[in-house]
């Protein structure tokens, strides 16, 4: 679940768009609408970085807010979303109008109609790395950020850290930060976790003093002091009076 990108609101707005298109199929002469509805109807509803449908969904959501209001759009986000009548003529008209605007905006911003979400949604940290997830639809993995002039989204918001623990003896722990441990652009740890994030991978989180020492690249002071600390505290995680090594 740590990297889950399922777009729950799509369980409502995709059937709404499909129903709206079918009800007005004879009136719609723009083949791009049929194409977009076909992509959305076949969507697995995950905002993965490979998903073209997610790009249509994102720009549809933005267009819906621009045309109507944020409050009206947020009906799709809240738990009461299933009360939206997807067979309502007014709901269908509004949804299709937003889709038409999204269809115009995507090539204006990205230069083509069908754009994988990872080409839009990126983390910029010593390079650009494609990401899944979205904050717009309140998914469990909510990467989000400011839209740039070229239409890309540079993610800088959504989550602060991630940790997964496998209980056992010993415990196995994995963790991830959004960017990297270092703020030095010349350090390999400036964007190493951004790259892991893009690949939906996590790094091991070393828990015991021995493992921490074995995987330490640099410390303030001497490793001998850390070895002394391990001897003092034994093989268990450090719970004694362990002042920072300086």
Structure tokens at 14: 């995709």
> What's the total number of domains in the chain?
2
Per-residue pLDDT at 240 exceeds 90: no
User: For residue 230, is pLDDT > 90?
Assistant: no
Residue 126 lies in a domain: no
In whole angstroms, give the CA distance from residue 213 to residue 218: 10
239 within 8 A of 232, measured Cβ to Cβ: no
101 in any annotated domain: yes
Model confidence at 223, pLDDT cuts 50, 70, 90, reads low
Write down the pTM of the prediction.
0.85
| Beta pairing partners, 147 | 153
Averaged pLDDT for residues 112-127: 95
Give a yes or no: residue 149 inside a domain.
no
Lowest mean pLDDT among 22-26, 137-141, 158-162, 220-224: 220-224
Strands 128-130 and 144-147: unpaired
Backbone angles phi, psi at 37, to 5 degrees: -65, -40
Look at residue 244 and tell me whether its pLDDT is greater than 70: no
- What are the backbone angles phi and psi of residue 229, rounded to the nearest 5°? -65, -40
Same domain flag for 34 and 102: yes
| pLDDT tens-place string over residues 76-103 | 999 999 999 999 999 999 999 999 999 9
**What confidence score (pLDDT) does residue 221 get?**
67
Better pLDDT: 223 or 130: 130
pLDDT at 99: 99
Decide which of 97, 115, 133 is a domain's last residue: 115
| 77 shares a domain with 18 | yes
* 242 confidence band (pLDDT: 50, 70, 90): very low
Structural domain harbouring 67: 10-115
- pLDDT band of residue 246 (cuts 50, 70, 90) is very low
Same domain, 101 and 180: no
Asked if pLDDT for residue 238 goes beyond 50, the answer is no
How confident is the model over 178-185, as a mean pLDDT? 90
pLDDT band at 11 (very low <50, low <70, confident <90, very high): very high
Q: Is residue 28 part of a domain?
A: yes
Q: Is the pLDDT of residue 2 over 80?
A: no
Quick check: is 245 in a domain? no
User: Is there a domain that residue 152 lies in?
Assistant: no
Please state at what angle helix 31-41 crosses helix 10-23, rounded to 10 degrees: 140
Residue 221: which region, alpha, beta or left (left: phi > 0; alpha: psi -120 to 50)?
left
């Amino acid at each position: 679940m740590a990297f889950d990108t399922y777009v729950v609101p799509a369980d409502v707005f995709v059937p709404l768009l499909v129903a709206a298109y079918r009800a007005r199929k004879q009136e719609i002469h723009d083949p791009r609408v049929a194409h977009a509805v076909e992509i959305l109807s076949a969507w697995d509803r995950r905002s993965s970085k490979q998903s073209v449908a997610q790009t249509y969904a994102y720009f549809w959501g933005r267009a819906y807010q621009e045309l109507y209001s944020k409050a009206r759009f947020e009906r799709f986000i809240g738990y009461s979303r299933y009360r939206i009548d997807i067979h309502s003529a007014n709901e269908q008209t509004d949804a299709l109008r937003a889709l038409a605007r999204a269809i115009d905006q995507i090539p204006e911003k990205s230069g083509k109609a069908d754009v994988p979400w990872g080409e839009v949604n990126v983390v910029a940290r010593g390079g650009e790395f494609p990401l899944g997830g979205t904050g717009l639809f309140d998914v469990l993995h909510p990467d989000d950020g400011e839209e740039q002039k070229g239409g890309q989204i540079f993610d800088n918001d959504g989550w602060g850290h991630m940790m997964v623990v496998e209980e056992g003896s010993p415990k196995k722990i994995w963790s991830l930060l959004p960017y990297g441990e270092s703020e030095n652009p010349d350090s390999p740890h400036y964007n190493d976790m951004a790259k892991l994030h893009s690949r939906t991978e996590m790094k091991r989180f070393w828990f015991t003093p021995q493992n921490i020492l074995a995987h330490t690249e640099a410390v303030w002071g001497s490793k001998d002091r850390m070895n002394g600390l391990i001897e003092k505290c034994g093989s268990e995680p450090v719970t004694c009076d362990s002042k920072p090594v300086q």
